[in-house]
Structure 1
């Protein structure tokens, strides 16, 4: 039985159990259409490995245990010539703030090859497909230190550890709340999932969730960017924090941190036909719908000849 069939049966049982009115039935039908059509556009639940660009390998891993999971992993060799990372800039007229954009909009504007969501932010509202904030261009506040092209635009905060990139394109997850003085690009997250090869005890948080994870090796020469799809029954329901740290460790990382997740978790890449999504983001409970978010990590690299 397919996930779509199960979902239809769930709605039918809900209809019969609650004795919905005609108006309720129409609303239920609209909800079914809104959910069904995008589910057909999600990446298939099949494993995939491909060299996406020079220095960038993409892996899609599908698991059925301990729950349905679709995991997207970028392995980025920062020593490859032409690989360069950026962070979305702040709003120069409003310190600590950015102009919100979707990941594909950022990819299009920056002309990078790959983009992924970044910092936690506020304010944020997600009530219905027509009642949410921010929209494109709205100003939002970034949580934790943020630096773009050497210009700081959001201040450090207690417990928020930044992901720092220096002029040599090496990466580190700071043990403090600030980056080294020569940092050119940075944004912050929490919690730290892997610290010098050791997994902190995150067992108190057992909630599976959509995750965005940044991880690195001991020398800072390899960057892993990981998206775990979530909030989508029968397709992918997400990872716990402990599982996310274990996944990064199994890849070979020594340090890892969670960036903004949930409906913000989005991974996109450039194609000859424009930006395409590699994962299945979910915003306002509609799959394949992007959230407008505060900032992003962009990756410039070269296509294969």
Structure 2
């Protein structure tokens, strides 16, 4: 005898719909329990490379991740995401997550870099770019001596010179002979002093996930700084003024540059099993979900090729 199940297709559809709608909640809860613990930590990652995690509750919960690199150490050298091949005029770059960049180019440490476009972040399903999509950078990007994204007026650039020394150019244009370069919108620290915000910018300065790079006076020590944000009671982010003050007073850096933040803010390191994300990125409000971005700053360390 054939059994009949009235309304069976509707029941299946309802179950599938409920499952899809609850998936972001499941991923959010899973991400919350997988984030780095809110404890301080300092450890050596590789020769000449140190990682520090700082958990603070003042003025609000915040997690700060810092990787410091000695550019004069043997085997330490920078790597910036290459552009697309000449003749492919639709866009400058192909979007990748920081982990994908680290694994593809076999660097040992990596972070996100330039602001970019186009960008859309509506829901976990309605986003652009996804990995492999075409994107453009804002400001100068140079990779292996080839500049494929031009400088932008009133923006600044981090330039890596042939002598394995770095400098921040406020004018946004790196000197001739630059091997690698990325760009950001604001200089945060100048000659060891935080740069004051304009009154208008200060009014709009809210806690946010942040990415920055900082240098010492010699240009041979560099700090990669990532601040987690948008995560209630875990890490709610820093303002630009707070980030500038932290870099100047806690890292004693001479200069610093603000890079793309928000859901782009990601810091990763190589492990025997592949990339490990050190912070808690927050793409589409989901903890530990990485955002594909246009450019990345990576470093080969020691035996890295």
Query: Same fold by TM-score, threshold 0.5 exceeded?
Result: yes
User: How far is the alpha carbon of 1:95 from its aligned partner?
Assistant: 7.8
Output one character per residue of 1:179-224: Cα deviation in whole Å (capped at 9) or x when no partner. 0101000010011111122222123343000000100011101101
Q: How do 1:114-263 and structure 2 match up within 5 A?
A: 114-202=109-197, 203-250=202-249, 251-263=251-263
Alignment match, 1:66: 59
Task: Provide the rounded CA distance (Å) in 2 between the counterparts of 1:206 and 1:31.
Answer: 29
Structure 1: gaps spanning 5 or more residues: 1-23
1:272 corresponds to 2:267: no
Task: Provide the rounded CA distance (Å) in 1 between the counterparts of 2:194 and 2:90.
Answer: 35
Alignment match, 2:27: 34
1:91 corresponds to 2:90: no
Alignment match, 2:104: 109
Q: Is the 8 A contact 2:24 2:286 kept in 1?
A: no
Q: Is the 8 A contact 2:90 2:134 kept in 1?
A: no
1:46 corresponds to 2:39: yes
Q: Is the 8 A contact 2:170 2:187 kept in 1?
A: no
Output one character per residue of 1:232-277: Cα deviation in whole Å (capped at 9) or x when no partner. 1110010000111111112010110110000000011110111111
SS in 2 for 1:40: helix
User: How far is the alpha carbon of 1:172 from its aligned partner?
Assistant: 0.6
Task: Provide the rounded CA distance (Å) in 2 between the counterparts of 1:198 and 1:96.
Answer: 38
Alignment match, 1:6: none
SS in 1 for 2:103: helix
Q: Is the 8 A contact 1:117 1:265 kept in 2?
A: yes
Task: Provide the rounded CA distance (Å) in 1 between the counterparts of 2:117 and 2:19.
Answer: 35
Task: Provide the rounded CA distance (Å) in 2 between the counterparts of 1:127 and 1:112.
Answer: 32
User: How far is the alpha carbon of 1:38 from its aligned partner?
Assistant: 1.1
User: How far is the alpha carbon of 1:33 from its aligned partner?
Assistant: 1.9
User: How far is the alpha carbon of 1:31 from its aligned partner?
Assistant: 4.3
SS in 1 for 2:122: strand
Alignment match, 1:11: none
Q: Is the 8 A contact 2:91 2:134 kept in 1?
A: no
CA 254–285 in structure 1, closer or farther in 2 if over 3 Å, else same: same
State the TM-score, normalized to the length of structure 2. Answer: 0.88
Q: Is the 8 A contact 1:227 1:266 kept in 2?
A: yes
Output one character per residue of 1:11-31: Cα deviation in whole Å (capped at 9) or x when no partner. xxxxxxxxxxxxx99888554
SS in 2 for 1:287: coil
State the TM-score, normalized to the length of structure 1. Answer: 0.88
Q: Which is greater in Rg?
A: 2
Q: Is the 8 A contact 2:119 2:128 kept in 1?
A: yes
CA 88–95 in structure 1, closer or farther in 2 if over 3 Å, else same: farther
Count of equivalent residues: 283
Root-mean-square deviation (CA, aligned residues, Å) is 2.0
SS in 1 for 2:64: strand
Q: Is the 8 A contact 1:95 1:153 kept in 2?
A: no
